[in-house]
Chain A
Amino acid sequence: MSTNGTSTSGSNKIQRRPFVAELLKRRGNTLVVPGLGSPTWDTFASGDSPEYLYSWGGMGLAVPTALGIALAQPSRRVLALTGDGEMLMGIGSLAVVADQNPQNLAILVLDNEHFGETGRQSGLTGNKVDLTAVARGFGIERTIVVTEQGKVGELAEFLFQGQGPALAVAKIALSEDPWRLPEKDGGIIAHRFRVALGVERA
């Protein structure tokens, strides 16, 4: 729990593992760029795909990396799947996303209001920080906050079908999930991703 008074994490109910799994079932051929730590474990726990660009480092870079892919692959939809800590570290990248205005990029912040991977220290989104308001302030007009497990279908439609850059926040429980560790050789992850896109030979 956050120590700064009005944390909402106690009321966060969404369970990240089944939620991400249900969401990714609906992704179609969307490319997924999970940030380091739990979003990468969640993604791999839902099943493996060469279209998942797993990350083991570079905190703050999930959105910029996804933006680069979205710019280079305008016919493919791209999802940056990150957490509240990483999103805040790279918060300025939302201004760059708004400025570039890629029609095929969506961002989902799995917000448990804590630094889950490093020992569950409280973060900054449990009290005053409103990520969707920040995103709108930067010029990302499509935003949504999801607080219920049952809204996954609605969220999938928002992320995978709408036009224009979009940012969703899912208020998730501070859960303890087993590590699910995918390939960590970045050369292999990049190779299979590029082969899947047809920009590199197998």
Chain B
Amino acid sequence: MAFSEHWSSDVFREMKARNIRTVCTIPDGGLTQLLNMVKADPAHRLVTLTTEEEGIGIATGCWLGGERAMIAMQSSGVGNCINALGLPAAFRAPCLMLVTMRGQWGEFNPWQVPMGQGTRPALEAMGVRCFPVDKAAEVGETFAAAADLAFHGRLSAAVLISQRVIGAKGFGQK
């Protein structure tokens, strides 16, 4: 894959190629560039949530209505989605999640660690196929692979972008 300025551009390109119009989100620092691209493009729709599980319902509704959507969140938000993930599974609807990880690589904040450690097991317990990626150059192709599995297979898939890609928030401390 060709080098590009930021992995967000790769993800956005793969989104456009697949007509993934809507992004439901509780933002994370690592998602800023992607969310700004979505917001700035009139062909796309940004849906700001109060809790991530709403995004599972909205994205499922979009698909029921004939459109593609995804949910973008920080790993802590995955915990809010657990029961909701039963909805796309029951409808045999696709569910595509883009998750920026906290609580792993160089985490400063111990409050982030339990859910960070639990993110992948929790998703897999709910039948979500996980696509971890820890190199910025591989985010775009990983996202594309997960999206194709989700929308063609009508399955739930999550791209887990390592904190190694995002960078740990250090609060100015060493």
Interface residues of A, Cβ cutoff 8 Å to B: 33, 53, 56-73, 90, 92-93, 95-96, 99-100, 186-187, 189-190, 193-194, 197-200
Minimal Cβ-Cβ distance residue in B for A200: B66
Residues of B within 8 A of A (CB): 22, 45, 47-51, 53-67, 69, 83-84, 86-87, 89-93
Contact A58–B86 (Cβ < 8 Å): yes
Query: A198–B65 Cα gap in the complex (Å)?
Result: 9
* Across-interface contacts of A66 in B (CB, < 8 A): 61
Residue contact A58 to B83, C-beta cutoff 8 Å = yes
Contact A93 B65 (CB under 8 A): no
- Lowest 7 CB-CB distances: which A-B pairs, in order? A68-B61, A72-B65, A64-B57, A92-B50, A199-B66, A186-B90, A61-B57
What is the CB-to-nearest-CB distance from B7 to chain A, in angstroms, rounded to a whole number? 27
The reply to whether A65 and B64 form a contact with Cβ atoms under 8 Å apart is yes
- C-alpha gap A110/B173 in the complex (Å): 53
Check B92–A68 contact: CB distance below 8 A: no
Q: Is the CB of A68 within 8 A of B66?
A: no
Q: Are B87 and A65 in contact (CB under 8 A)?
A: yes
Smallest CB gap from B55: residue in A: A64
**Chain A residue with minimal CB distance to B92?**
A187
Given A68-B58, A71-B22, A72-B66, CB of A61 within 8 Å of CB of B90:
no
Q: Which of B45, B61, B86 contacts A65 (CB 8 A)?
A: B61
Which residues in B have their C-beta under 8 angstroms from that of A73? 65-66
Q: A66 CA to B87 CA in the complex, in Å? A: 13
A72 in contact with B62 (CB, 8 Å): yes
Q: Is the pair A96, B58 in contact by a Cβ cutoff of 8 Å?
A: yes
Distance from B72 Cβ to chain A, minimum over Cβ atoms (Å): 15
A64–B47 Cα distance when bound, in Å, is 11
Rounded to whole Å, the gap between the CB of B92 and the closest CB of chain A is: 4
* Chain A positions within 8 Å of B58 at CB level: 64-65, 67-68, 71, 96
A96 to B45, CA, bound (A): 13
Task: Say whether, besides A61-B56, A65-B57, A96-B47, A197 and B91 are in contact (CB < 8 Å).
Answer: no
Q: Are B62 and A92 in contact (CB under 8 A)?
A: no
Expressed in whole angstroms, the minimum distance between the Cβ of A57 and any Cβ of chain B is 6
| Nearest chain B residue, comparing its CB with the CB of A184 | B90
A-B contact pairs, 23 of them (CB 8 A): A57-B90, A60-B57, A61-B56, A61-B57, A61-B87, A63-B57, A64-B54, A64-B55, A65-B58, A65-B87, A66-B61, A67-B57, A68-B22, A68-B61, A69-B61, A71-B62, A72-B62, A72-B64, A72-B67, A73-B65, A90-B54, A92-B51, A194-B66
**Nearest-CB residue, chain A, relative to B50:** A92
- Complex: A65 Cα to B32 Cα, angstroms: 26
Report whether A68 and B90 are in contact in the complex, using a CB–CB cutoff of 8 Å. no
A189→B90 CA distance, assembly (Å) = 10
Within the complex, the shortest CB–CB distance from A54 to chain B, in Å, comes to 11
Q: Contact between A71 and B50 (Cβ–Cβ < 8 Å)?
A: no
Q: Are A67 and B61 in contact (CB under 8 A)?
A: yes
* Given A96-B49, A190-B91, A190-B92, residue A57 in contact with residue B57 (CB < 8 A): no
A68, B50: Cβ atoms closer than 8 Å: no
Residues in A neighbouring B53, C-beta threshold 8 A: 60-61, 64
CB proximity of A32 to chain B, nearest CB, Å:
12
B49 engages A68 (CB within 8 Å): no
Residue of A nearest to B57 (CB): A64
With both chains docked as a complex, state the minimum distance between the C-beta of B24 and any C-beta of chain A, in angstroms: 8
